[in-house]
Amino acid sequence: MLEALTGTGLAASAGLNAYIPLLVMGLLARFSSLIDLPSGWSWLSNGWVLVILGILLAVEVVADKVPVVDHVNDVVQTVVRPTAGGLAFGAGSSSQTVTVSDPGSFFSSHQWVPVAAGVLIALCVHGFKAAARPVVNVSTAGFGAPVASTVEDIGSVLMSVLAVLMPVLVLVGLGLLGWAAFAVMRRRRRKRLIAASGAPHSFG
């Protein structure tokens, strides 16, 4: 159960920002004893990989805070974030962490399953993020983009750390994401209804 929550939290984090969960796992594995990556995923803690992830994260953080550019970035990230989610779920669910004592018991006979699960989870979260951002941009004339992006980045960091240290609390994070998705969809529906009621009617 904890392995599944760890993988789910990391994949959801990748849906918000592709590079944060990978960087968090790599840094924790390289500089602490909080996580021990399996041999197949040890490349995440390689120094050059961490540098590349850091550069990509810096580009992503800047691009995601500029209106219009953030939309183009979301289109590009439609492939990147689910891929990162698959990697994060696969590495996280099969790693030895301070809260998971027997990672080998999870999906042990079907190694592709956690990767596929991570892709789907990250894709769903990315879809919500990509759908919500235009609503934020339009309703705030673009000024809300950096605020929303910063909140998403912080949420991605927190979700990644909780997935490793306290995976049970991942459920709280997922609940908050679900609530945010519901609030955004309700707001979009309300705007559509208002726009429809104010549209001119044709007769004849």
On the 0-12 / 13-18 / 19+ scale of CB atoms within 10 A, 183 is: exposed
Predicted TM-score (pTM) of this structure: 0.79
CB 91 within 8 A of CB 47: no
Supply angle C-alpha 31, 36, 39, rounded to 5: 115
Residue 189 amino acid letter: R
Task: Quote the pLDDT of residue 100.
Answer: 55
3-state DSSP call for residue 35?
strand
pLDDT recorded at residue 18: 92
Instruction: Tell me what pLDDT residue 1 has.
Output: 67
- What pLDDT was estimated at residue 122? 92
pLDDT value, residue 204: 44
Write down the pLDDT at residue 203.
46
Whole-Å CA distances, 123 to 102, 104, 168:
28, 26, 22
Residue 120's pLDDT is 92
Q: What does each of the 204 residues of the chain score in pLDDT, given as a tens digit?
A: 677 788 888 999 999 999 999 999 999 999 988 888 877 788 899 999 999 999 999 999 999 998 889 888 889 899 999 999 988 888 877 665 655 555 555 555 566 777 888 899 999 999 888 888 887 877 777 788 888 889 889 989 998 998 888 877 777 877 877 777 676 667 666 666 666 666 554 444
Q: How far is CA 114 from CA 57, 80, 110, 117, 202, in A?
A: 24, 17, 8, 5, 54
Q: Which sign, positive or negative, has the C-alpha torsion 115, 118, 123, 124?
A: positive
- Sequence-separated (6 or more) residues with CB below 8 Å from residue 31: none
